Amino acid sequence: ELSQEQQAILSFIVEAYQKHRIPQDMAKKLLQEHFNADENFLLLTEMATSHVQVLVEFTKNIPGFSALDHEDQIALLKGSAVEAMFLRSAQVFTRKLPHGHTEVLEDRIRKSGISEAFITPMFNFYKSIGELQMMQEEHALLTAITILSPDRPYLKDQQAVERLQEPMLEVLRRFCAMQHPLEPQHFARLLGRLTELRTLNHHHAEMLTSWRMS
């Protein structure tokens, strides 16, 4: 079971995760309007910017984050933005959307000029997240855990970050045990996705370069 304090952390994190999301009108634009390649590029860029702004608002709600050194806050966000973005996008692709919406989204991304070599691992990741049938609580906690990675570049006080990440890991571990009693590997599988995210993050800079050139 979760302690009262752990339950409070979980509710708080989930509420913040649900509250801070990309504005609906922007998401609608992505589905409803037709764009040429340049406008497509601009829209995806605006979405990425919005993703980062939403991520920062969510992160401010993670218990203890605001008390961290200001430059360390930036190092954590810079280091995790891409991973958190892929995690949030994975949720879009695994949710049951109205008929045809997933295809429109996938088509738009495939026609954005990003090279196939980067698109395939991205959709493989979305698929592997989909297989886990993650609950909203797991998404919110995993995002918080990703942000609070103590090994990000330029981080000065790693121990302070570890102290914030550990309780989140424990809440996720217990939550998994409660929700998936017949799948003892579920928690380990979730953490395994973080390793995949690292790989995507690693290739992201390369992907952007190829996209810009294209």
Partner 1 sequence: PASNLGLEDIIRKALMGNLEE
What residues make contact with partner 1 under the rule CB under 8 A?
A: 42, 45-46, 49, 52-53, 56-57, 60, 70, 73-74, 77-78, 81
Q: Reduced to 3 states, what is the DSSP secondary structure of residue 33?
A: coil
How buried is residue 174: exposed, middle or buried, by Cβ count under 10 Å (0-12/13-18/19+)?
Answer: middle
Complex with partner 1: residue 88 or 186, whichever CB lies closer: 88
Nearest residue (CB) to partner 1, 73 versus 165: 73
Please, what is the minimum distance in Å from the beta carbon of residue 45 to partner 1?
4
Picking from 104, 98, 143, 106, the residue whose alpha carbon sits closest to that of residue 123 is 106
Write the Ramachandran bin of 213: left for phi over 0, alpha for psi from -120 to 50, otherwise beta. alpha
* Pick 43 or 191: Cβ nearer partner 1: 43
Shorter beta-carbon distance to partner 1: residue 46 or 106: 46
Helices (H), the chain: 4-19, 24-32, 37-60, 70-94, 101-110, 116-131, 136-147, 158-179, 186-213
CB of 23 to partner 1, least distance (A): 11
Task: Give the pair of three-digit tokens for residue 10.
Answer: 């979980």
Q: How far is the CB of 2 from partner 1 (least distance, A)?
A: 30
Least distance (Å) between residue 79 CB and partner 1:
10
Cα-flanking dihedrals φ and ψ of residue 96, to 5°?
-80, 105
The CB-side HSE value for 176 (13 A sphere, CA atoms) comes to 22
Measured from the CB atom, the residue of 84 and 172 that comes closer to partner 1 is 84
Cβ 43 to partner 1 shortest distance, Å: 9
